[in-house]
Structure 1
């Protein structure tokens, strides 16, 4: 594991353990809430596992917390350079999200990349709103049974709690900026 990945993994594990203990939950109770195995949660808490983005979303939804609660963000001035990447990978390593900022606990910012000829499906906490800004190429986004064809510089906003699917049917990686706003945070 790379040093940056170890830092993020340890950070997530420590934050998860703190949240679980603050709520007075056992690992078994947390596993039931999140639909993630007790073994996996224990490894995450000890920093022995680098969880996929899908696992982190399951934990966040199960605890009804923003994903950023599992990650530490700087509160003052923060500068993120493209070279300083701390990615969270999707299950098949075809979707990558880089947490950037958390604003007053109600909004999160991410950079994302979807590999060529792949799709990624997700949904977020109730009351969340997602905004997607396409930085290059073309992307299809399915929301609420409707498909939206997006191109470079297009922006779309929708209810994040609704299941949505990012589809990259092209031969190039597509880069995105994402924000999640939480009305219930």
Structure 2
């Protein structure tokens, strides 16, 4: 597959439909368990919309699958260029995550949090997240505990716990993220 020809939204739709059908779920059933409207789910499956990362996480929690399951492409060698257009944005466009790789139960992402903003998320039960700060300073709140992280600092925590990425600076903070699931 030529990286210039990747249609991420279309692939997400194809993968979502296949996973939903394999689980023998209707769009309505998926809408009920994910809190994403049936109309939105249909548009995603048809590749008519580019869903936000928030919507994708809701769908994944509803299906009880890792996010990368929706983002998988069949390739043996993958190159992901920095600054590619294949990013998913948070609700306020202040958090961006770019899916990179899936390897033996782990998912790899490149992330960016905009200046003076924050983003919160939690993942499937049994997940573990590792975050590497590539530049700047990041405050990461995991549960009730806050961690001040600087460039090249790495943190590992239970991904199922509510966690908030906070950028209090006037510069973008770039991150590498890894999610590992007990059931890939």
Output the TM-score relative to the length of structure 1: 0.94
1:136 maps onto 2:132 in alignment: no
Distance in 1 separating the partners of 2:56 and 2:24: 20
1:70 and 2:57 equivalent?
no
Q: Distance in 1 between matches of 2:89 and 2:120?
A: 13
Q: Which residue of 1 aligns with 2:155?
A: 156
User: Equivalent residue of 2:44, what SS?
Assistant: helix
Alpha-carbon deviation of 1:22? 1.1
Distance (whole Å) between structure 2 residues aligned to residue 83 and residue 168 of structure 1 = 20
Q: TM-score, normalised by structure 2?
A: 0.94
- Residue of structure 2 in register with 1:109 after alignment: 108
Q: Secondary structure at the match of 2:110?
A: strand
> Could you tell me how far apart the structure 2 residues matched to 1:101 and 1:139 are?
24
Deviation (angstroms), 1:39: 0.8
Q: Deviations over 1:42-96 (max 9, x none)?
A: 1111111111000000001111100000012344222222143411111111100
Paired residue total? 181
3-state DSSP of counterpart to 1:81: coil
Q: Distance in 2 between matches of 1:34 and 1:90?
A: 17
Are residues 75 and 183 of structure 1, via their aligned partners in 2, closer, same or farther at CA, if it must alter by over 3 Å? farther
CA distance in 1: counterparts of 2:5 and 2:56, whole angstroms: 15
Q: Distance in 2 between matches of 1:117 and 1:5?
A: 34
Alpha-carbon RMSD across the aligned residues, in angstroms, is: 1.5
Q: Which residue of 2 aligns with 1:48?
A: 48
d(CA) in 2 for partners of 1:118, 1:49: 25
5+ residue gaps, structure 2: none
The answer to whether 1:18 aligns with 2:18 is yes
Q: Cα distance 1:40–1:128, how it changes in 2: closer, same or farther (>3 A)?
A: same
Structure 1: 4+ residue segments shifted above 6 A: none
What are the ranges of 5 or more consecutive residues in structure 1 without an aligned counterpart?
Answer: none
1:27 aligns with 27
CA deviation map 1:92-118 (0-9, x unaligned): 1110001010002x0000000000010
1:6 to partner: Cα distance: 8.0
Aligned equivalents of 2:56, 2:48: Cα separation in 1: 15
